[in-house]
Amino acid sequence: MTAQIIDGKAFAAEVREKVAGHVSRLKQEHGITPGLAVVLVGEDPASQVYVRNKGKQTIEVGMSSFEHKLPAETSQEELLELLDRLNADPQIHGILVQLPLPSHVDEELVINRIDPDKDVDGFHISNVGRLATGQKSMVPCTPLGCLMMLRDQRGSLSGLDAVVIGRSNIVGKPMAQLLLGDSCTVTIAHSRTRGLPEVVRRADVVVAAVGRPGFVRGEWIKPGATVIDVGINRIEAPEKGTNDDGSVKTRLVGDVDFDGAVQVAGAITPVPGGVGPMTIACLLANTVTACCRANGLDEPEGLTA
């Protein structure tokens, strides 16, 4: 048996299309344009690429994009003042502060300054609490994308055994909460977990968010399980040759040994082209949701948890 490969790129394009449809209705029927503000402090090259992609996709779905690029030496006070202005601006429905922030800035303080209703990353402590207590919240984008793919793949998740490998605040923990919300029996595994292969072997749903290339072995997977690989790891790829400076070329791989797992699983996300593209699509989905909530309108179906 060979697993179905879940096409995250195509799925993300569908999500963006749904978002664009809602944006167009909000504009036509209510005269409202959802707006997303992205704040970048400093010149981290990877963050600059992310912010550029976010801005581009925001505009493509018809929303307003507000980019605030601040120098690395921006003080914490200046950043907090900017957030206060964005919080008060009715044209802005979503605010995202690109992480990591420079070391002189208290990340937690900054995130918790964002109005929770505009916190489209879902990292504000109020949203963490709302998610944990089953209330309406803003849900972190990567786990939301994983949940959408799982629901699409499996239909109802009720009663399934799920294992989430990784317990970070941005992926593992919210992912586990979402699966619990959909009535899975959830195990959260981490670096101290004993007998991980056996834990994984029981699971109908495996979400790997570890940050170690090929860590989850194919022989751990239960036949027919759905495997969602969140990991993004860059490894050397000597088969691709060398760069102009003589260094070995690289490629991206996930946390799952894809070649092994694809022989056993029922469905699996590839890396790249699986979970990755869903993250920005879900950021856009969260912005539309925030905009609808702010205006007392029905939330878009299929774009929230």
Q: What do you get for the CA distance between the two ends of the chain, in Å?
A: 32
167 known ligand binder:
yes
CB of 123 to ligand NDP, least distance (A): 12
Q: Is 7 a catalytic residue?
A: no
217 known ligand binder:
no
CB of 8 to ligand NDP, least distance (A): 9
For the chain, count helices (H), then strands (E). 10, 11
Ramachandran bin of 195, using left for φ above 0, alpha for ψ from -120 to 50, beta for the remaining angles:
left
**In the block, residue with structure tokens 């027919």:** 224
Task: Round to whole Å and give the CA distance between 228 and 225.
Answer: 10
CB of 25 to ligand NDP, least distance (A): 28
Task: Round to whole Å and give the CA distance between 201 and 225.
Answer: 9
Amino acid at position 28, single letter: Q
Nearer to ligand NDP, 32 or 141 (CB): 141
Task: Round to whole Å and give the CA distance between 168 and 99.
Answer: 15
Nearer to ligand NDP, 23 or 210 (CB): 210
Catalytic residue among 115, 119, 121, 257: 121
Q: Is 54 a catalytic residue?
A: yes
Q: Which residue has its beta carbon closest to ligand NDP?
A: 168
296 known ligand binder:
no
Handedness of CA 137, 143, 148, 154 (dihedral sign): negative
Nearer to ligand NDP, 107 or 299 (CB): 107
Task: Round to whole Å and give the CA distance between 288 and 115.
Answer: 16
Nearer to ligand NDP, 171 or 268 (CB): 171
The DSSP bridge pattern shows strands 94-97 and 35-41 to be parallel
Q: Is 121 a catalytic residue?
A: yes
Binding residues vs ligand NDP (CB under 6 A) = 142, 165-168, 170-172, 189-193, 196, 209-212, 230-233, 275-276, 279
Catalytic residue among 57, 98, 153, 177: 98
Task: Round to whole Å and give the CA distance between 17 and 274.
Answer: 18
Residue 86: C-alpha distances to residues 24, 75, 82, 117 (Å): 23, 17, 6, 12
166 known ligand binder:
yes
Please check whether residue 277 is in contact with residue 8, taking contact to mean a CB–CB distance below 8 angstroms.
Answer: yes
CB of 209 to ligand NDP, least distance (A): 4
Nearer to ligand NDP, 136 or 212 (CB): 212
Nearer to ligand NDP, 139 or 189 (CB): 189
Helices (H), the chain: 8-30, 45-60, 76-88, 107-111, 125-132, 141-154, 172-181, 196-201, 258-261, 276-294
CB of 192 to ligand NDP, least distance (A): 6
CB of 234 to ligand NDP, least distance (A): 9
| Residues identified as active-site | 54, 98, 121
Residue ranges of the binding site: 166-168, 232
Residue ranges of the binding site for NADP(+): 166-168, 232
